[in-house]
């Protein structure tokens, strides 16, 4: 009995409504990023909320779900991203990034230039 309650759907939306919600959400994200040149984070946030509204999810539940998901993602990966951005900024401002690029390109033959650029992107990025 309890397994049936756990597996019960949380919304009353049917499959066609969920498909329409997904299409509307994706279209909104693409429109906001490509045509309106809105920042991708804000576009993804607005697209997710639009998709939740079209799917029939209550506002409070969609907001709680978003904050829980964002909080767990930022909590697990956010520090790593911030530290990487700080190190990258320090490399650029100190001239270290230019030195790495010049050293790798000076030792690379012309035929292997694409591989050298990939290595530079891996090391600096």
pLDDT for position 10: 57
Cβ burial of 25 (10 Å; 0-12, 13-18, 19+) is: buried
Tell me the CA end-to-end span of the chain in Å, nearest whole number: 52
Q: What percent of the chain has pLDDT over 70?
A: 90
91 within 8 A of 97, measured Cβ to Cβ: yes
Model confidence pLDDT, tens digit, residues 77-115? 888 888 988 998 999 999 999 999 999 999 999 999 999
- pTM for the model stands at 0.57
- Nearest CA to 67 out of 88, 52, 82 is that of 52
Model confidence pLDDT, tens digit, residues 59-68? 899 889 988 9
pLDDT for position 7: 52
Model confidence pLDDT, tens digit, residues 3-27? 555 555 555 667 899 999 999 999 9
Give the C-alpha distances (Å, rounded to integers) separating 99 from 3, 42, 103: 61, 35, 6
């Amino acid at each position: 009995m309890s397994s049936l309650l756990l597996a019960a759907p949380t919304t009353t939306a049917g499959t066609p409504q969920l498909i329409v919600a997904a299409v509307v959400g994706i279209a909104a994200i693409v429109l906001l990023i490509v045509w309106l040149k809105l920042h991708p984070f804000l576009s993804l946030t607005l697209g997710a909320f639009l998709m939740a509204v079209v799917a029939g999810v209550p506002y409070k539940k969609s907001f709680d779900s978003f904050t829980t998901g964002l909080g767990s993602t930022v909590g697990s990966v956010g520090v790593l991203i911030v530290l990487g951005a700080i190190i990258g900024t320090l490399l650029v401002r100190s001239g270290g990034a230019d030195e790495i690029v010049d050293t790798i390109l000076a030792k690379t033959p012309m035929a292997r230039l694409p591989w050298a650029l990939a290595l530079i992107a891996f090391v600096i990025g």
